[in-house]
């Protein structure tokens, strides 16, 4: 189905139609959650991508919302696999809540309230929205609390799914390409290509990873250095968890080194798994494309999802070194859009024009429409 409203918010060129009938989105499902207006949409599509090239899709929020004024979305996934993954998440959430309340070794029977009373729909970035038994739409949202620590809370998005879809709106809010690159790139240290033909950065590469807005970076440069104090905004608000970004090394030999790193990771995972006697599967090597960003550090673009990830270490609360994956962007273009520069505090003559755009960029990227930084 295509209406004027859906044409404004959905990218039909990326959305994927169903190949076979779903075992979850049945007549009983639509009757239970009273989905009428957008039933046909769910029946026809397995994945719905929202428009994101030059803007963002938002869910209407209440002015006095305690946690977040706006909630942005990238896609909705209606595949059976994603539903099952969401059910597992709800089950694990119930078990975790039970352990926190009664202790991990409690003999008290676990009550699976979340699992039995909610249906999860995947929206990307390891997040879901949830339909409860009252037909209301909720999100379990990660945010920064008053003490600058990560916290989780439930937030209501709408009274029902049809209303939730009706209230989605598009805002053309991405920074202009030339202005953005002028601010974040250190042109003095950036190296242009001497040979135009790269072995890896071909037409097929740009189509596979859906790189459009910043395609010229691969075509024109071998190494891109970012201005001092460049960070990638990996969460909803600028905070201490954002990641320093040094450079992008786009030389073929560095790509090959990165591919070797992925192969070594696959081999290590295989050797330390319970299935080490089976034939090795190079899953990360096949799916991820490496780009060097620091000495020995890489970001990875996923062939299957187009998302940009990093794999890095940090110290946890017990001072132990742990490794974790961090999402850097919904796609490469989004990753570049998220990079921002922290102006030097001591520089009182910091260009006012740049500063004004810098503040506006954060207002946009932080999803705080109308709120000045």
Beta strands 321-329; 308-315: pairing state: antiparallel
Mean pLDDT of 310-328: 74
Q: What is the pTM of this model?
A: 0.53
Tell me the pLDDT of the chain averaged across its residues.
80
Q: How far apart are CA 41 and CA 333, in angstroms?
A: 27
Mean pLDDT of 84-106: 89
User: What percent of the chain lies above the pLDDT cut of 90?
Assistant: 34
User: What percent of the chain lies above the pLDDT cut of 70?
Assistant: 77
How much is the pLDDT for 352?
Answer: 52
* Residue in 98, 97, 114 with CA at minimum distance from that of residue 106: 98
The pLDDT of residue 290 is above 90: yes
* Residue in 217, 224, 236 with CA at minimum distance from that of residue 177: 217
* Residue in 179, 181, 190, 186 with CA at minimum distance from that of residue 228: 186
How much is the pLDDT for 55?
Answer: 62
The pLDDT of residue 194 is above 80: yes
Where does the pLDDT of residue 137 fall: very low under 50, low under 70, confident under 90, or very high at 90 and above?
very high
Where does the pLDDT of residue 277 fall: very low under 50, low under 70, confident under 90, or very high at 90 and above?
confident
How much is the pLDDT for 53?
Answer: 63
Mean pLDDT of 48-63: 74
How crowded is residue 49: how many other Cβ atoms within 10 Å of its Cβ? 22
* Residue in 58, 78, 55, 77 with CA at minimum distance from that of residue 69: 58
Asked if 288 and 301 touch (Cβ cutoff 8 Å), the reply is: yes
Asked if 224 and 248 touch (Cβ cutoff 8 Å), the reply is: yes
* Residue in 124, 145, 334, 327 with CA at minimum distance from that of residue 242: 327
Q: CA 85: distance to chain centroid?
A: 17
134 to 24, 25, 62, 159: CA distances (angstroms): 18, 17, 19, 8
Instruction: Tell whether the torsion through CA atoms of 245, 246, 251 and 257 is positive or negative.
Output: negative
What's the pLDDT tens digit per position in 201-248?
988 898 889 888 888 899 899 999 988 655 666 544 444 455 667 889
Q: How far apart are CA 43 and CA 266, in angstroms?
A: 37
Where does the pLDDT of residue 359 fall: very low under 50, low under 70, confident under 90, or very high at 90 and above?
low
How much is the pLDDT for 145?
Answer: 59
Exposure on the CB side of residue 54, measured as CA atoms within 13 A: 4
The pLDDT of residue 21 is above 50: yes
How crowded is residue 189: how many other Cβ atoms within 10 Å of its Cβ? 12
223 to 188, 246, 299: CA distances (angstroms): 11, 11, 14
């Amino acid at each position: 189905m295509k209406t004027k409203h859906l044409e404004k918010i959905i990218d039909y060129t990326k959305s994927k139609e169903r190949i076979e009938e779903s075992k979850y989105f049945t007549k009983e499902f639509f009757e239970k959650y009273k989905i009428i207006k957008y039933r046909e949409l769910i029946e026809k599509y397995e994945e719905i991508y929202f428009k994101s090239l030059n803007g963002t899709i938002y869910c209407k929020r209440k002015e006095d919302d305690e946690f977040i004024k706006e909630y942005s979305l990238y896609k909705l996934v209606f595949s059976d696999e994603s539903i099952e993954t969401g059910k597992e998440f709800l089950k694990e959430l119930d078990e975790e809540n039970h352990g926190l309340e009664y202790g991990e070794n409690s003999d008290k029977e676990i009550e699976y309230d979340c699992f039995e009373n909610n249906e999860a729909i995947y929206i990307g970035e390891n997040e879901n929205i949830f339909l409860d038994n009252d037909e209301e739409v909720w999100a379990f949202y990660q945010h920064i609390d008053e003490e600058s620590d990560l916290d989780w809370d439930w937030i209501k998005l709408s009274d029902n799914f049809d209303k939730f879809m009706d209230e989605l709106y598009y805002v053309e809010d991405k920074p202009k390409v030339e202005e953005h690159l002028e601010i974040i790139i250190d042109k003095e240290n950036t190296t242009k290509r001497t040979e135009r033909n790269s072995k890896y950065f071909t037409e097929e590469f740009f189509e596979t990873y859906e790189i459009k807005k910043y395609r010229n970076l691969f075509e024109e440069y071998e190494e891109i250095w970012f201005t001092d104090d460049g960070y990638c905004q990996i969460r909803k608000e600028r905070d201490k968890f954002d990641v320093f970004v040094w450079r992008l090394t786009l030389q073929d030999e560095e790509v090959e080194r990165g591919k070797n790193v992925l192969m070594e990771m696959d081999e290590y995972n295989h050797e330390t798994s319970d299935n080490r006697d089976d034939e090795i599967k190079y899953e990360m090597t096949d799916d991820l494309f490496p780009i060097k960003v620091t000495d020995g550090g890489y970001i990875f673009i996923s062939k299957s999802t187009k998302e940009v990830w990093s794999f890095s270490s940090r110290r946890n609360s017990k001072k132990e070194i742990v490794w974790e994956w961090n999402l850097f962007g919904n796609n490469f273009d989004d990753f570049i859009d998220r990079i921002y520069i922290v102006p030097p505090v001591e520089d009182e003559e910091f260009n006012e024009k740049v500063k004004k755009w810098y503040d506006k960029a954060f207002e946009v990227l932080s999803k705080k429409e109308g709120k000045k930084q």
